[in-house]
Structure 1
Amino acid sequence: MTGHPIYFLWATPRSTSTAFEWMMRQRGDLSCFHEPFGMAWYQGPEARAPRVAPTDRQRPEATFEKIWIDIQEAAEKRPVFVKDMPHHTDHLWSDAFLERITHSFLIRDPAKVLASLHCSYKKAGMEDGFEAQEISFGPQQALFDLLRALGQTPPVLDSDDLLEDPDTMVRIYCKAIGIPFIRAALSWEPGARDDVLWYDGNDEIWHASLRDSDGLKPIPRKHVDPDDLPENLNLHYETFMRHYNSLYTHRLRPEMVSG
């Protein structure tokens, strides 16, 4: 298939990626997909997640092949933006798959990701409810390194940079992937976020901040000490930090803005 560009933002959980996706939805010039391969990974007939989805949450139609076809068919009509996580697709990384996509990455300090996960999983009653692969730091680096070996160096956006100066960093990001910057997309009305809600349906746990927000606005960054993390999460920190740092050196910087 040919068609319009397919833009992928490869993220980790709890990295402000859904807020970023919500901003991209406000543009009005993109067909947007929210973690479509995650649906197959958790709920589909070829599910690869470590936990079996409850029967009432299983989606027999959600095969990896069908989801990829749906994305490509959407790109026949207009440009497509997809937010997903690398571990959902690591078995699909053929040259043909990767070459059809315009790739970008959103990274976040692992201590902040793990602290946010701990809070969310605690609310959900699943404090030990993930495996390291699901946090996607390793798959993020693996995909980034693979793309560089294929001759690409995709743009990398750091969550702290984004939240310190959304206007500047979104402008730089848009230039990096080749789309116009639309400042109006950085603002929206608070309310339901059904378009980015799936799997457990628990908006109160996963998307409460996004639901109550009215845009991407500067937020002072706070330090999270990894030593304050619960032991089961702290064990992952150093490994995750190595993966994070490998992409951090390639991140987009505020001084790259022009025009």
Structure 2
Amino acid sequence: MRISLWSGPRNISTALMYSFAQRSDTTVVDEPLYAHYLTTTDAHTYHPGAEEVIASQEPDGEKVVKQILFGAYETPVVFFKNMTHHLAGLDWEFLKKTKNLILTRDPADMLPSYTKQVEKPTMRDVGYEMHLELIRFLKKNSQPFHIIDSKAVLMNPESELTAVCDFLGIPFERGMLSWRAGPRPEDGVWAKYWYHNVHKSIGFQPYQPREEEIPLELKPLYIECRRAYEKILSHALNQ
């Protein structure tokens, strides 16, 4: 089974990757399409460590897709942590052959965290509109998907992970609820720029709303993100 998690940035996607890494039947892969994204867009001009990321991975997205679908792994389940915006320029047909999870987060919690790394994000960077495009594509092609809200996971990780596993058709394992602190071998080379908080964790941290105000210059983007986020959640109501 090939599982694709499609996340926006700062959406507890790394914590979910660490969670699946604890499973006895699963191999995890960290953002295999990142170099493709950086080499096919202007994101390389403002993403921290972009050249290092590009040097560390296969930048040809079509080759990466073949590895996702047909690569040899030692376990029957392979979990690919992906960013939705990394799909830029690719043929989405391969999504018909993966189990697709869509991870989203309240932009009030996401934006203050993301702007610490990318000062002037756009909708392309944060992924909400592309999540909606992905949902439309999957529905049009009668492909099942499961929407995960970061807040719900942090508030009740066992219940939410059980629902994810039920969708995937694999048993929930309690080991998914915790991991050792510190860097992990599956981390991408970008971990030193993005994973400081998750490296301090030993499991899903209790939900705490962000107290930072949305900067005035980001209010228009926040409003767009909020509108898209609510549409994403509306699709989750029928799960």
TM-score (norm 2): 0.87
Structure-2 residue corresponding to 1:221: 208
The answer on 1:243 being equivalent to 2:235 is no
Greater C-alpha Rg:
1
1:42-81 maps to which residues of 2 (within 5 A)? 42=38, 46-52=39-45, 55=51, 57-59=53-55, 61-74=58-71, 78-81=76-79
TM-fit CA distance, 1:237: 1.0
Which structure 2 residue ranges, 5 or more long, are not aligned? none
CA RMSD between the two structures: 2.4
**TM-fit CA distance, 1:243:** 1.4
- The corresponding residue for 1:106 is 103
Tell me the distance in 2 between the aligned counterparts of 1:33 and 1:252: 29
Distance 2:113 2:68 in 1: 30
Q: Which amino acid letter does the alignment assign opposite residue 119 of structure 2?
A: E
> Counterparts of 1:1-259 in structure 2 under 5 Å?
5-42=1-38, 46-52=39-45, 55=51, 57-59=53-55, 61-74=58-71, 78-95=76-93, 97-118=94-115, 120-121=116-117, 126-128=118-120, 130-199=121-190, 202=192, 205-217=193-205, 219-222=206-209, 228-251=213-236
Deviation per CA, 1:88-147: give whole Å up to 9, x if none.
11422343x1211111111100111101112x32xxxx523x332011111111001111
- The Cα shift of 1:8 comes to 0.7
From the superposition, tell whether residues 16 and 76 of structure 1 become closer, same or farther in structure 2 (CA, over 3 Å). Answer: closer
C-alpha distance in 2, partners of 1:80/1:197? Answer: 16
State the SS of the aligned residue for 2:33. Answer: helix
- Separation (CA, whole Å) in 2 of partners of 1:170 and 1:194: 23
Letter in 2 for 1:237: Y
Q: How many residues align?
A: 234
Q: Cα gap change, 1:195/1:242 in structure 2, threshold over 3 Å: closer, same or farther? A: same
Alpha carbons of structure 1 residues 189 and 93: separation in structure 2 relative to 1, 3 Å = same
TM-score by length of 1: 0.81
Query: Structure 1: how far apart are the matches of 2:214 and 2:200?
Result: 27
Task: Give the gaps of 5 or more residues in structure 1.
Answer: none
Give the secondary-structure state (helix, strand or coil) at the position aligned to 1:168.
helix
Please give the alpha-carbon distance, in whole angstroms, between the structure 2 residues aligned to 1:196 and 1:54: 15
